[in-house]
Chains A and B, each alone.
Chain A
Amino acid sequence: MFSTKKFAVTALLLVILLAAVTAVSVTLGAASISFSSSLRILLSPLFPSLVSQDIPPSHIYIILQLRLPRVLSALMVGAALAVSGTVFQAVFKNPMADPFILGISAGSALGVAVGMITGFAMIVSSRWGVPVFAFLGGTGATAVIYLLGGRGVSSTTLLLAGIAMNFLLSAAMSLLLFFNRDSLESVVYWNMGSLTSSSWSELSVIIPIIMIGTAVILLFSRELNAMTLGDETALSLGISIRNVRIIVLLLATLVTASSVAISGTIGFVGLIIPHIMRIITGANHRTLLPYSAVGGALFLMLSDALARSVVPPSEIPVGIITAMAGAPYFIYLLKARGRHIL
């Protein structure tokens, strides 16, 4: 039970926290740029007088063109994955549903690979083409999972369907790459789950999609609440569950696909963040969704900061960090299933 005032205060604190983590993350990296000059460069688009002669132009380039887009994509991707994880968990009434485990991310990745190899994704421009193919692939995977799990099958069935889906899609991906060996490196590297190649031109497409998608999902919080209580309850509360399910699943797929388009497949964010947030804020999607967005953003920004700083000057793909945190959590959930796990 959150009062509006308390909610506003907490939201403000979280936004400040997000800004702080963004600022700190931007100072991390191979080139040593001090915190104060990073901060000055970061604020320079708003206050040009902050950047004086003592800051070399290369530093400005590194902060504004390399690190900031990267940190922002960690923020957006983390938020996107956690929001879509929350939606998948509500629609399938299953705490272990997540875009990565269900194979939605893999579907988007396969879509992108097909788009890249056939060249269709580059026809208009790659910044639009890649997300479009990611969405097509993700929708295919979501459709299969929906047909299998839409009627509220057991957790086990849904998870097995996800495993089967992941196997199938990874086989398809391998086959595709086998026949197109020249694309192997670029596709594999992109798919590893990494934020290194983020640029402003990609972000200019992805950020609006993720923000609008999330905002529209938020408009369905009441429906999501009712649907977690069971189909019969949702229907008797006046909700057309079939339509709502299809709409929110498509939105969650869109948001997932957008994140896959910039970062490849990053696992487990959508699994653990909604789960932790439910413990903190309760189950009401009105608060759960925004909290998950912020939680996912913080989690991925911190994971990315870690990925950049454990073995300098090289870095490890952020997907490895999230998997190392997420997989044990997943096992814990599996073990706890007999008890109350939400």
Chain B
Amino acid sequence: MSDSRLISLEGLNWSYGEHEILRSITQEISKGCFTSILGPNGSGKTTMLRLMMRILDPDRNAVRLQGKDIHEYRRKDLARRIGSVPQQTDTSYPYSVYEMVMMGRYPHKRRLESLNWRDHEVVRSSLKTTDVCHLRRHGIHEISGGELQRVVIARALAQEPEILALDEPTSHLDPHHQLAILGLLRRLVTEQGISIICVLHDLNSAMRFSDQVMLLNHGRIVHAGTPEAALTADHIHEVYGINVKIQTLDDGTPYIIILGS
């Protein structure tokens, strides 16, 4: 088994009742990469991400993590390998930022085991990585959306995961915060070797920040590969039904300009 295999999807299906969401998806996700999942609304992106973390239960052997069926892992073991940043975080309970991030240590703790200096150490370094140390005493209901997103990422990092799974982490943020979050994720890949799987909406963000792209349409992966190979004008037209032009910026990154439908 090659070392670079992280998650393998082998004929992954999912449906809600009669409604088919994902149809026999087969795909390898490699280790140490920033992998983006793209596609129109309702194409099955979030469902795919949830199946990869077993928030939804896939069929046996349809999702394999490091070569083993995901059902063979206990939920706690899974939580030590995959940190998650869901689309929504309920902030109606007034936890402090520090308490919230400390929840990322739960998968490492047995029931009667109390928190020790190492847990505090990991929490502090996660807060530092995501640049929210100064907010640690604030309530999670008192901070802005961009700050909350960083806090949730810090919690996922406190799980000390090999994989970080994020569902549209930038969707409610202004351009400045979008850029900051994506830059942070990119650094996690290059500096800490964390593999990132991220549902994104913005084509240019995916183009600029990811190593691998999966383009979904009607529950199938229609194109996958490097951003340049997967996100061509033809492919974008085929999936989204819009006309685009791709230009190369001064720094060499391709930039997608939307012309019309």
Contact = CB atoms under 8 A, between A and B. Distances in A.
A233 B167 CA distance: 12
B89 to A, nearest CB: 6
A278 B93 contact: yes
B93 A222 contact: no
A153 interface: no
Nearest to B137: A1
A183 to B, nearest CB: 44
Contacts, number: 88
B125 interface: no
A230 B94 contact: no
A93 interface: yes
Contacts of A230: 86, 88-90
Nearest to A219: B111
Interface string A181-225: 000000000000000000000000000000000000001001001
Interface residues of B, number: 38
Interface string B102-142: 01101101011000000000000000000000000101010
Contact of A283 (B75, B83, B94): B94
A154 B86 CA distance: 20
The listed residue with most B CB atoms (<10 A of its CB), out of A225, A237, A240, A278, is A237
Interface string B70-83: 00000111111011
B96 A229 contact: no
Interface in B119-170: 137, 139, 141, 156, 159, 165
Contact of B80 (A229, A238, A282, A342): A238
A342 B104 contact: no
Contacts of A341: 92
Contact of B92 (A222, A237, A239, A342): A342
Given A226-B103, A228-B92, A282-B99, 5 more contacts: A229-B89, A236-B84, A237-B79, A282-B95, A283-B93
19 contacts: A1-B96, A1-B99, A1-B137, A93-B92, A226-B103, A229-B89, A232-B55, A233-B86, A233-B89, A233-B90, A236-B53, A237-B159, A238-B106, A239-B75, A282-B94, A283-B94, A284-B95, A340-B141, A342-B141
